[in-house]
Amino acid sequence: MADARVDLVKEVAQVGEDIIHSDRFDKAKRVPHHSKSGNIACHSLETATYALGITRWLSSHGVHIDENDVVRASLLHDIGMTEDDVFLSPSRKKAYSHPKEGSRIAAEEFGANSVQLDAIKRHMWPIGIVTPRYATGWVVVAADKLCSMKEVRREAAKKVRDYARKRHS
């Protein structure tokens, strides 16, 4: 099981090599996400790994989705957060603006195609009311939510541990 996950991570790294080694992704490493220790780059890599796993599972059930699109859209879905004015805006505004800004960056800097752009623009569903147009977008939505829940749960568990440690010291 662990080996299968390592293989998925390697495949994500191959498909998204240009993204992962870009200055933009370097910046994403410095943008916090869901916790003090988390960042947009880690979140995006994990989302892409989940998304590739979901895509493989769907394929084994007869639903075939382009893996390149899934991985690249997942790696770029939150890239809009690397724009300073987006990151510094109030959280409600940020939730609406980063998909739009992210799709602009994905098109200009990484040549994202229309399927990838749709997935990036609509990945915040149901906060954003417009649903993805393609199956690719639905996979990104599912992977992003799974990954976010895991990160929030990890952060909450850490806070509980820190609180307990303080009380007993």
Give the residue carrying structure tokens 């790994």.
Answer: 49
Q: Judged by CB under 5 A, which stretch of 8-16, 74-82, 84-92, 105-113 contacts Fe ion? A: 74-82
For Fe ion, which stretch binds (CB under 5 A), given 22-30, 76-84, 85-93, 104-112? 76-84
Query: Are 31 and 40 a contacting pair, CB within 8 Å?
Result: yes
Told to check if 118 binds Fe ion by CB under 5 A, we report no
Among residues 118 and 144, whose Cβ is nearest to Fe ion?
144
Q: Site mask, Fe ion, residues 138-157, x = CB under 5 A? A: ------x-------------
| CB neighbours of residue 66 within 10 Å | 16
- Polymer length of the chain: 169
Asked if 78 is part of the footprint of Fe ion (rule: CB under 5 A), the reply reads yes
In 10 A of CB 69, how many CB atoms? 25
* Contact footprint for Fe ion (CB under 5 A): 78, 144
